[in-house]
């Protein structure tokens, strides 16, 4: 395992040769790792505190703007939801009406076709025929 650790820099150099992006990524990762392992200096802590204090009013302002925007969008969102609900209800009613109309049409069609077949399919005529019986034979 010690040989693997010793050969790591050579392997990194070979892989990075001809690939500047890989070399940059390796250098960035190494710098980040070293920087994260070192304790923060007093100057860094001081600068971080100063930056936090200066950013606090901006954070408060951003929160305020976000809350105001959310409040301003609340009513239009509720109106949009109501509009969608009404449109859906109208669509449901339209489908019900169409279904009822279609069912009525089917009933009427069935009723009409049932009454024409109840005659047995024969028609009686009063104009004579060659047979002299006065009726037309059923087909």
- What does the pLDDT read at residue 39? 86
- What does the pLDDT read at residue 123? 47
Cα–Cα distance, 10 to 17 (Å, whole number):
11
- What does the pLDDT read at residue 129? 45
- What does the pLDDT read at residue 122? 46
Q: Strand pairing partners for 124? A: 135
- What does the pLDDT read at residue 81? 93
Tens place of pLDDT per residue across the chain (139 aa): 566 667 777 776 776 677 788 888 888 998 988 888 888 889 888 999 999 999 999 999 999 999 999 888 888 889 999 999 999 999 999 999 999 999 999 998 988 887 665 555 444 444 444 444 555 555 5
3-state secondary structure of 63: helix
Q: Are 29 and 22 in contact (CB under 8 A)?
A: no
pTM: 0.36
**Beta carbons within 10 angstroms of residue 22's beta carbon:** 13
Phi-psi map region of 134: left, alpha, beta (phi>0 left; psi -120 to 50 alpha):
left
CA atoms within 13 A of residue 34's CA, in its CB half-sphere: 6
| Helix (DSSP H) and strand (DSSP E) numbers for the chain | 3, 0
């Amino acid at each position: 395992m010690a040989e693997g650790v010793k050969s790591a820099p050579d392997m990194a150099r070979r892989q990075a040769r001809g690939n500047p992006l890989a070399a940059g990524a390796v250098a960035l990762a190494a710098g980040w790792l070293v920087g994260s392992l070192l304790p923060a200096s007093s100057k860094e802590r001081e600068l971080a505190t100063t930056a936090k204090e200066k950013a606090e009013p901006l954070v408060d302002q951003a929160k305020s703007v976000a809350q105001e925007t959310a409040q301003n969008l609340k009513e239009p969102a509720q109106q949009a939801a109501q509009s969608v609900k009404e449109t859906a209800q109208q669509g449901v009613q339209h489908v019900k009406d169409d279904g009822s109309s279609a069912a009525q049409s089917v009933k009427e069609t069935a009723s009409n076709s049932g009454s024409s077949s109840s005659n047995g399919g024969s028609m009686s005529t009063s104009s004579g025929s060659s047979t002299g019986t006065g009726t037309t034979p059923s087909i």
